[in-house]
Amino acid sequence: MSTYSRETEGLALVHKFADQVKGRTCKAHLPTSPNILPRLPILIYLVLLTGPSPGGIGAETLISLAAESPAQLILVGRSREKAQATIDAIKVVNASVATKFIEADLTSLASVRKAAQSILADPEIPRIDVVINNAAVMATPFELTPDGIELQLAASHLGHFLLTNMILPKVLAAAAAGPGGARLVLLTSSGHRYSGVRFSDPNFAEPGSYTPYDAYGQAKSAVILYAVALNRRLALRGARGVRAYAVHPGSVQTNLQSHVMKLAPEELATMMDEVSMRVMGMPLAETRRQSPWLTLQQGCATTLRAALDPDLVKQEGVYLQDCELTTDTKLVKEWATDPELAEKLWTLSEELVGEKFDI
């Protein structure tokens, strides 16, 4: 019987896998150098994108990790002022943990490129052991970014696609540094079951085609397909110490629902029942009865298992839900895990960001 469930809490996992969080030492070398370096410390560097906002799953993830003394937590977000509250909370838990804030707006390709270049050039970030792509928006009104990309696709997938691919050399450096490897954790949602990627019209140019949840489903399906494509490429290049996982954190009440909650009560009830039927196969009231809201501690647990559990690589699959890795097609749609669609998504993503990546 599994020791994990939707009730598992993030802090318990941090304590369980403390040896994956604390600085540790072994013989290591960086892939850019042929020399073996003498007993370098392997340090956890955590990249969190726009998710460090107080009260969110990302902030809870960082605060939980602080309890077991990672060397450095890197917060990537749009606002240093907002992130400061999370930094302060980290310091309350463990004043010895170094933090670094890097400004980036994931809906701006120029901003993402600037942030990635800053990370690559920073001598205080020699490698990155865990990347957690936590940022997202949910069910927003139709909007195109300045780059002409639909907002939800940009915020949840394309910004992360560009940033992660650009900083990958430092992730590969972590994988080369010792047996612990490196992890890429991409936050998705059960909402991916609502709809797949609209390859012929990802930006909803067709008049009348846009609905907030069609766009949300597309973005979250793209996140899972990206993980599938990453794992294939990393395996082909022999980077077996790096694994990507897509995680559904569960239903947690945060500011992510802010756009939805602005709707009139009757409109909101009708829409959410329709969404629940398509995603869960039951009305919202029954969904909430069977799966009540999770706490923030429960909500960050699936992310933390994907980031820290060394035994996860022994299991099949790319998608985690309720703190478990699963290939059940009732939980993760085939349109989000199909290898051919993953390659198609990679090509589309390169076209949308205007850059090819030899990974």
Hey, which CATH number is domain 10-353, 2.40.100.10, 3.40.718.10, 3.40.50.720, 3.40.190.10?
3.40.50.720
- Checking if the pLDDT of 299 tops 60, the result is yes
pLDDT at residue 150 in the model: 98
What was the pLDDT predicted at 26?
A: 30
pLDDT recorded at residue 241: 85
The domain limits of the chain are: 10-353
Q: Which residues contact 153 (CB under 8 A, 6 or more apart)?
A: 202, 203, 215, 218, 219, 222
- Judge whether residue 193 has pLDDT over 90: yes
**pLDDT band at 238, cuts 50/70/90?**
confident
- Asked if the model's pLDDT at residue 36 lies above 70, the reply is no
Q: Which two tokens stand for residue 306?
A: 């994907």
Question: Tokens 């009540």 correspond to what residue?
Answer: 292
Asked whether the beta carbons of 173 and 30 are under 8 A apart, the reply is: yes
Cβ atoms of 183 and 243 closer than 8 Å: yes
Residue 9 pLDDT class (50, 70, 90 cuts): very high
Average pLDDT along the chain: 88
The pLDDT value recorded for residue 263 is: 64
Pairwise CA distance, residues 46 & 68, whole Å: 13
**pLDDT confidence of 237, banded at 50, 70, 90?**
confident
Q: pLDDT category, 271, cuts 50, 70, 90?
A: confident
Looking at mean pLDDT, say which of 17-21, 244-248, 265-269 comes out highest: 244-248
Tokens encoding 283: 């009305």
* pLDDT (0 to 100) of residue 38: 32
Q: What is the 3-state secondary structure (H, E, C) of 276-335?
A: HHHHHCCCHHHHHHHCCCECHHHHCHHHHHHHHCHHHHHCCCCEEECCEEECCCCCCCHH
Q: How many percent of the chain have pLDDT more than 70?
A: 87
* pLDDT of 221 above 50: yes
pTM of the predicted protein model: 0.91
- pLDDT tens digits, residue range 60-110? 999 999 999 998 999 999 989 999 999 999 999 999 999 999 999 999 999
Residue 40 has pLDDT above 90, yes or no: no
How many DSSP H helices and E strands does the chain contain? 13, 10
Stronger pLDDT, 266 or 29, i.e. the higher one: 266
Q: What confidence tens digit (pLDDT) does each residue in 134-173 have?
A: 988 888 999 999 999 999 999 999 999 999 999 999 999 8
Question: Among 20, 28, 12, 82, which residue's Cα sits nearest to residue 46?
Answer: 20
- What is the C-alpha separation between 99 and 75, in angstroms, rounded? 7
For residue 204, is it left (φ>0), alpha (ψ between -120 and 50) or beta?
left
